[in-house]
Amino acid sequence: MEAPSLGTLLREHWELAKNLRGLQIELDGEKCKGVWQCYEVCPVGCWRPDYEAGKVEFHHGERCIACGACVLQCPEDAIELK
């Protein structure tokens, strides 16, 4: 255990930056049961309930800020951020 060097810190930030740019939502339509917790918690309105199919639609993907709320609240583990 030692104090972090400037090099490690910079490397960590660089990795973080790379990840953040590339993060994309992936919805597994099979697993979705239409609980709509993602719609309930998304602060930028990416999701739209599909009342007929009893599913959810990721219809404003370009708004996504990769906050991860939908991933965490989905009880079916149907959403991934990667």
Partner 1 sequence: MATAFMKWLERSPADYERGIQLLTLGRLERLQRELVENHIGSGDRVLEVGCGPGTLSVRMAAAGARVTALDRSRSMVEQAEIRLAQAGVAGAVPLIHADAATIGDRFEAGSFDRVVCSLVLSEMPDASRRLFLRECHRVLAPNGRLLVIEEVRAAGWGARVLQAVIQLPLRSLSWLLTRTGTRLVPQLAQTLELAGFKTRVSAQELAGTLQLLVSEPAAVASAKKPLRPVVVGELAHHTSLRTWLLNLWELVFRILPPYPSWEPGVYTLGDPGPKDPVLVTGNYDLTLRRLAWALEGQLDAWVLVVDSSGINVWCAAGGGFLTAERIAGGLRSSGLDGFVNHHAMVLPQLCANGVDGWRLREETGWGVHWGPVRAEDLPAYLAAGRKKPGGMRWVAFPLLDRFEMMTATLGFYALLILLPVAIFWRPMLGPVTVSLLSLSFFYAAVHPLLPGRDGLAKSLPLALLAVGGMLIHSALFDPVGAPTLFGRGVGLSALALFVAAELQGMSPLMRGEQANWGWEAAIGAALGAIYWLLPRAVGWR
Q: Which residues bind partner 1 (CB under 8 A)?
A: 1-4, 9, 13-14, 16-18, 20-21, 23, 37, 40-45, 62-63, 65-69, 72-73, 75
Q: Which amino acid is at 25?
A: I
Q: Which is nearer to partner 1, 23 or 80 (CB)?
A: 23
Q: Among 12, 51, 13, which residue's Cα sits nearest to residue 34?
A: 51
Distance CA 3, CA 70 (A): 36
Q: Which is nearer to partner 1, 1 or 30 (CB)?
A: 1
Instruction: State phi, psi for 69 to the nearest 5 degrees.
Output: -60, -45
CB of 63 to partner 1, least distance (A): 8
CB of 47 to partner 1, least distance (A): 10
Distance CA 29, CA 6 (A): 44
CB of 29 to partner 1, least distance (A): 21
